[in-house]
Amino acid sequence: MSLDGLISGPDPDMENPLGIRGARLHEWLLKLAVLREYVGFEGGEVNASTQVVEEWLSNLGASIMGRNTFGGFPGAWDREKPPWPGWWGSNPPFHHPVFVLTHYARESIQLEGGTSFTFVTDGIESALRQARAAAAGRDVALIGGAETAGQYLTAGLVDEMEINLVPILLGSGKRLFEGLSDDMHGLRLIRTIVAPTAETPTVLHLKFAR
């Protein structure tokens, strides 16, 4: 999230799925060795963010995302014949079952590297139930986007929330917290990490838990 509360910039399209300059929100993540290794690349940095990403990935069994996070900007993938396979390519970086919230029923997809996409049309609780079963005791991660996160937060179904706050402005785009109440459902800030170093901060990791 940017300082002005956005998780993407304006005018998302195929070349800039996170909108204009929105990719700046993920720069801290994409250069980390722990993330690069998870998605199959070598090299990268080890810094104060490493612990945060290790906590996210180390016990991960399944993920949940909204349809736009799966497959692009509003309206993009329903128009495609054959169906738009999503942003994530033939070997997605998840390597576990992913459950996609959508109003449009669709066959599951099994892809290289252990990633599957299962499309869930009967709501967030069903998606969570299926993801928990698939995770078999490991963690279920909520990838995004903002509406999906807001729905789970509002339903009181979020156990932990990590806000990766990048201290820049994007001006306009998609807000993370939009149309919610003031109810954090028992979540409170329990840990702050400044990265890569306290002297050269480019991201703040704010961990909320019950």
Residues contributing to the site for its own copies (CB under 8 A): 3-5, 9, 21, 163, 167-171, 175-177, 180-184, 188-190, 192, 194, 198, 201-202, 204, 206, 208
Q: With respect to its own copies, which residue has the nearer C-beta, 103 or 188?
A: 188
DSSP structural state of residue 8:
E
Q: With respect to its own copies, which residue has the nearer C-beta, 131 or 165?
A: 165
Q: With respect to its own copies, which residue has the nearer C-beta, 60 or 184?
A: 184
Work out how close the CB of 39 gets to its own copies at its nearest, in angstroms, rounded to a whole number. Answer: 28
**Amino acid identity of 180?**
L
Work out how close the CB of 191 gets to its own copies at its nearest, in angstroms, rounded to a whole number. Answer: 8
Cα separation, 70 vs 96, whole angstroms? 14
Cα separation, 131 vs 119, whole angstroms? 11
DSSP structural state of residue 178:
-
Q: With respect to its own copies, which residue has the nearer C-beta, 33 or 204?
A: 204
Q: With respect to its own copies, which residue has the nearer C-beta, 128 or 193?
A: 193
Distance of CA 78 to the CA centre of its chain: 21
Closest CA to 207 of 186, 189, 184, 187: 189
Considering just the CA atoms, what is the radius of gyration of the chain in Å?
A: 17
Work out how close the CB of 71 gets to its own copies at its nearest, in angstroms, rounded to a whole number. Answer: 26
Helices (H), the chain: 27-30, 33-38, 50-57, 67-71, 124-135, 146-154
Work out how close the CB of 66 gets to its own copies at its nearest, in angstroms, rounded to a whole number. Answer: 19
Work out how close the CB of 70 gets to its own copies at its nearest, in angstroms, rounded to a whole number. Answer: 25
Cα separation, 13 vs 76, whole angstroms? 9
